[in-house]
Structures are given as C-alpha cells and as structure tokens.
Amino acid sequence: MKTLLRLLLKSQHQRNRSEPDQTENGMTLVELLVGAIMAFLIITPMLGFVVDMLNTDRREQVKSNTEQDLQAAADFISQDLSQAIYIYDNNPATISTPTTTPTGIPAIRSQLPPNGTPILVFWKQQPRKNSIPFNPEVAKTVKPKDCDTNPGKCNDTYVLSLVAYYQIQETDSTSIWCQPSGGTCPTRIARYEISDGIRNPDAPDPADPYYSDTDTKDTQRRDRAFNTSFDFSKPTVNVTTGTDFPDPQVLVNYIDHSTGPAVTGTECKTALGNPIDQRTATPIPETTLIIANPTNSFYACVDTSKNIARVTLRGNSLRRLQPNDTAYNPNRSAFFPTASVQVQGLGARGR
C-alpha cells in the first residue's frame, strides 16, 4: 500500500513539473505573415529613401569633383599663359599680303601634332633652373648634368617652348578615358610642349650651339620636334620639324562632347575689348578671335596683337555616372559646370 501511494505521488509531482512547458506557445503562421507584411511596408520606403539619399550624395560629389577638376585645369592654363610671348589666333590667312599677315592656327596646323583639335597654341620661355655653369673655367669640370650636385656653380636659364592645348575625343569605349564604358566617350584636354635645349654660351661652333648629349640630362636636351630655324619675325614658318612629337600630357578628362550653349556672336569681341586690326584700322572679326570646335566645350578667344587670351572649359558630370543620356540639356545645366580664365602674357615677342 505504501509503495502504491509513493508511485502516485511521484507521478503527480512529475506532471506538475511538466505543465509549464506545455503552456508555452510559439508564433502562428498567420502572425508570421502579418509581421512580414508590416516589416515590408515599413522597410521598403525607408530603403528607397536611403538609396535615393546615396544616389543624390553621389551625384553631388561627382558635380563637386568635376567643378574642382575644371578649376584646377583653368588655374594651370592661366599660370602657363602668363609666360606666353606669342599666342596664335584663328586668323585664316596663310600668306602675307598688304592687308593680311598669317598669325593663326590655320597657318601652322600642318606643323602641329595630328591627333585631336588644337585650341590654344602659344610660345613661352620655359625656365631651366641651375643648368648653366658660371663661366668657361667652371665648365671644365662641371657640366649641365652635374649642376644639381654642384650647388653654387651654375646659373638658371630659359629655353623657348611651343605649348599646344588639344581637345581629344576618345573612341575606344574600353579605354580608361571612357569610364563607365560604352556610349559616347567624353573628350579630354591634353597638353603638348616642344622645347629647345640648353645652349652653350661658349660653344666653339656657332652652327651647333648645344651641349653634347654626354654633358646633359634628357630634360636639358632639345626635343626632336623643335625647329632650330624658327624665327619670331615669321611666327608661322618653321614652327616645328613636323615629326617626332612628344607624347601629350592629359590635363583633365570628362570634358563635354555634346553640343552645348552656342557662343554668342560678340562674346570674344566683348571679352577682349573690341580689338582693332592696326594694319587695316578695322575691328577684328569674331571668327578670327575665337578658336573652338562644334561642341563649344573648350574654346579660346585670342587677340594676338595684345598677347591676350580668354579660355573657357565645360565639363560633363553625368558622364562620370553613366554611359548614356549624358548630352547637354539646359534643365540639367548643374551637371555641366564651366570655368573661364583671361590672361595677358608677357609684353612682347622674344622677350
């Protein structure tokens, strides 16, 4: 009897311990579905809002980068132009007559690098620091290539350089200059510089005024495209050798390739102060002052007689984001920032 009673109590005790587990319930399928729908209705708009914010931030960042790149390019061109001693305009004359003098890019186009469109071309004096031995006595032991390691024994000098800014259209959609790949590629601005070499003031042969290659570094030698027969009295003759041009250096990419706002009929005249042709005492026509391509995304206004130039650039932020639908549109003008500089070079040719 005691044994039976003990078994009944033990059974009741175990049943009482198991009852809490039996009363715990999980979520039903309906509750799961309702929760999922509520989460979808709440999260989806928030996710769209976040994505839109990220896209907006990216567009603003791209616009800012493009503006900074354009301004940096304009500042570089401005500094470069400040050393110009002769700037070519767009004068179509190719021969001299009593009323015409060749002063423009059309007269020298065949002597310039063939790739791309030359927009700004000028001569400047390029400094070469610490490159010329003081005197013949020093030159016996110190050569131009050794000047850097012999401080105080060499002077600075200048060499003549032809500088040309080109607008180049990329045609390879897989190129690094056409990213994201596909669609119409942007254009880029590239800079050529063709320089004379350091001349030896004590050269024994006047017909060969240069130091030997063994006495100089690469940066002190004449570029092969530099024409030693060039004379400022005839600025469109013997401009280059016509071959062996150096590789260009890219200044800025993502220059707009679509047709933007038209250049007004008197923009260059107004910017340059309505210049007058001194030979004929008549206003210089706009077509002579402006150098551009059909898109007007990189153009220059040049008054050769006053050695002054105004340069305008237009970038394309959209092309950084997408390969298509990137053409200029007045309603999206914020994506096409512009930068302009106006500079007067040195006072006279050959200075």
% of the chain with per-residue pLDDT over 70:
88
- 234 within a domain of the structure (yes/no): yes
Element (H, E) at 36: helix 29-81
CA distance 151 to 142: 10
**Looking at residues 125-151, what average pLDDT do you find?**
90
- 46 within a domain of the structure (yes/no): no
67's CB contacts (< 8 A; 6+ apart) are 315, 337, 339
322's CB contacts (< 8 A; 6+ apart) are 180, 183
Predicted pLDDT of residue 4: 45
- 43 within a domain of the structure (yes/no): no
- 101 within a domain of the structure (yes/no): yes
- 122 within a domain of the structure (yes/no): yes
Whether 293 and 168 have beta carbons less than 8 Å apart is answered as: no
- 23 within a domain of the structure (yes/no): no
* Half-sphere CA count of 116, side-chain side, radius 13 A: 24
- 308 within a domain of the structure (yes/no): yes
* Half-sphere CA count of 256, side-chain side, radius 13 A: 33
Predicted pLDDT of residue 116: 92
Tokens 């493009």 -> residue: 66
Is the pTM higher than 0.85? The answer reads no
Residue 176 domain boundaries = 63-344
Predicted pLDDT of residue 3: 56
| Number of domains, the chain | 1
**Looking at residues 45-53, what average pLDDT do you find?**
68
25's CB contacts (< 8 A; 6+ apart) are none
Radius of gyration over every alpha carbon of the chain, rounded to an integer in angstroms: 35
Element (H, E) at 267: helix 267-271
Indicate the pLDDT class of residue 45, thresholds 50, 70 and 90. confident
Residue 246's nearest CA partner among 166, 129, 157 is: 166
Kindly tell me the burial class for residue 121, based on how many C-beta atoms sit within 10 Å of its own C-beta (0-12, 13-18, 19 or more).
Answer: buried
- 11 within a domain of the structure (yes/no): no
Residue 105 has pLDDT above 90, yes or no: yes
Q: Which residue has the higher pLDDT, 24 or 109?
A: 109
Predicted pLDDT of residue 351: 42
Kindly tell me the burial class for residue 200, based on how many C-beta atoms sit within 10 Å of its own C-beta (0-12, 13-18, 19 or more).
Answer: buried
